[in-house]
Structure 1
Amino acid sequence: MTGTNKHLTYDDRLQLLSFVSKNYSMRKIGTILGKSPSSISRELKINRYRKRVFNDNDTLCTHARTCSSIKRGCSQTCKLYRLEPCPRLLKAPWICLGCSHYTACHKSKLLYDPKKAQLRYEDILHTSRLGPSVSQDGLNFINATLETYLKQNHQPLPHILHHTQLGISLSTLYRYVDNHTLSIKAIDCVRKVRYKPRKKEKLPSKATIKAIRKGRTYPDFLAYCKENPHAAIAECDSVIGTIGTPVLFTNCRM
């Protein structure tokens, strides 16, 4: 079981494919993976894909066994033509894998690939977090409020946020302005155009840090003391913050 993780992992999807090929029920698969049967069924239905085979026979009509005028190409001309559906594909497990007629069937197959499903899941996970985290109605309300207080009354953004209930922070509001999410532009802000963009401090690379620490580690210190037993040694205490950034020396003693 995957524990409390709500989303299916790549290992879960690999196991799912194995269980479906053994014709496990959705309820049994859900019990093993720790998910609801509806989630398992939805995963297979959404992420299945069609794989066509050479000379497939997808044009077989539901009336083929009773029709007296069946002929080649009637799927394009007959008004009564209806593609014969596969009963296995109309409900869970939604794919052809595990079917007893899988090798003998000449139709195009509906399959499930864990790798493709995982890539699609990661893409949805990424795109769902793009853009503003408010609804369109919320954006319209923010935009209308700023139109009133900013363009008409020429009030600064911090003052507007203090006296209104926009539901976002000042930094988020500035980000919406910079990303052109709102109709408000940077030139409309009273004070924003006076400030230059902050320059982000570029941290040294791992190669640079490794080169700087060469000959300055504690083993190097012990080797130096062994070679110079009469050397004067000073001990300093430091406050370590983020690894790789400068530290603060608090005191030093001989």
Structure 2
Amino acid sequence: MAKNKHLTDAERLQIEQWLKDRVSIKQIALKLDKSTSTISREIRSRAITSIKFVPYRTHNRCVERYDCHKHYLCSDKPNCTKRCSTCNLCNELCEAYQEQPCYKLFEPPYVCNGCIEEHQCVLRKKYYLHHQAHEAYREMLVESRIGANITEDELLVLDEIVSPLIMRGQSVHHIVTHNPDQFEVSEKSIYRYISGGLLKARNI
């Protein structure tokens, strides 16, 4: 039954700590008795982007930063002899700037929590932070409730009924039409819950 429950703030705190400790997504899922896809989706959808820079390193995220030999991008510093790629203003001033993404963020765990290179990496970062993640969930829950009076417990019951049927290939319309006595919310509301990520079933 635990696998059907939504993540709590305490569980999100555990996820943040385990990511910092470099625990794999699969192991986190086992520890919380959730599916791996649930934990993976939680991390990817609620991670926040950070533009913080590494102290004492040049703030340059350009893909050409190691090979670029441009000079004199600063019109107010005509006597500067430094390569522009070694200046913190480079990305802001250069028209050829192209940001290099961190390709580690495209694979598990999808965030910089626990990365051994995080303290020296100049690229844009992503972090999973439990407080922000839970606040984002709460805000989405409130937005998805607009037009329908439903509690979290009622949403859980709805999830247990609807999601398994959708995962077997049934449409929301078919489910509601053939089980009219089980629903106190509209078909439109169910679609809204799915789109908002409040049910295990995904949009298909």
Structure with higher RCO (Cα < 8 A, 6+ apart): 2
Structure 1 spans left out of the alignment, 5+ residues: 134-166, 173-254
Q: 1:58 to 1:85 in 2, by over 3 A?
A: farther
Q: 1:105 to 1:127 in 2, by over 3 A?
A: same
Are the counterparts in 2 of residues 49 and 112 from structure 1 also a CA contact under 8 Å? yes
Q: Indicate the percent of aligned positions where both proteins have the same amino acid.
A: 30
2: CA distance, partners of 1:89 / 1:32: 23
2:65: which partner in 1? 64
1:111: which partner in 2? 127
2:43: which partner in 1? 44
Which has a greater percent of strand?
1
Q: Residue type matched to 2:68 in 1? A: C
TM-score w.r.t. length of structure 2: 0.54
- 1:157-199 Cα deviation digits (max 9, x unpaired): xxxxxxxxxx9xxxx9xxxxxxxxxxxxxxxxxxxxxxxxxxx
1:24: which partner in 2? 23
TM-score w.r.t. length of structure 1: 0.44
Q: 1:4 to 1:77 in 2, by over 3 A?
A: closer
Matching of residue 100 in structure 1 with residue 116 in structure 2: yes
Matching of residue 121 in structure 1 with residue 137 in structure 2: yes
1:157: which partner in 2? none
Q: 1:30 to 1:4 in 2, by over 3 A?
A: closer
2: CA distance, partners of 1:99 / 1:126: 34
1:89: which partner in 2? 105
Q: Residue type matched to 2:126 in 1? A: L
Structure 2 spans left out of the alignment, 5+ residues: 71-82, 150-179, 186-204
Are the counterparts in 2 of residues 58 and 108 from structure 1 also a CA contact under 8 Å? no
Query: Bigger radius of gyration, 1 or 2?
Result: 1
- What is the Cα-based RMSD across aligned positions, in Å? 3.0
- 1:52-71 Cα deviation digits (max 9, x unpaired): 43668553211222223351
Are the counterparts in 2 of residues 95 and 111 from structure 1 also a CA contact under 8 Å? yes
Q: Residue type matched to 1:18 in 2? A: Q
Shift in Å at residue 79 of structure 1?
4.9
Are the counterparts in 2 of residues 57 and 107 from structure 1 also a CA contact under 8 Å? no
2: CA distance, partners of 1:116 / 1:50: 12
Q: Residue type matched to 2:127 in 1? A: L
Q: Residue type matched to 1:42 in 2? A: R
Equivalent pairs counted in the alignment come to 134
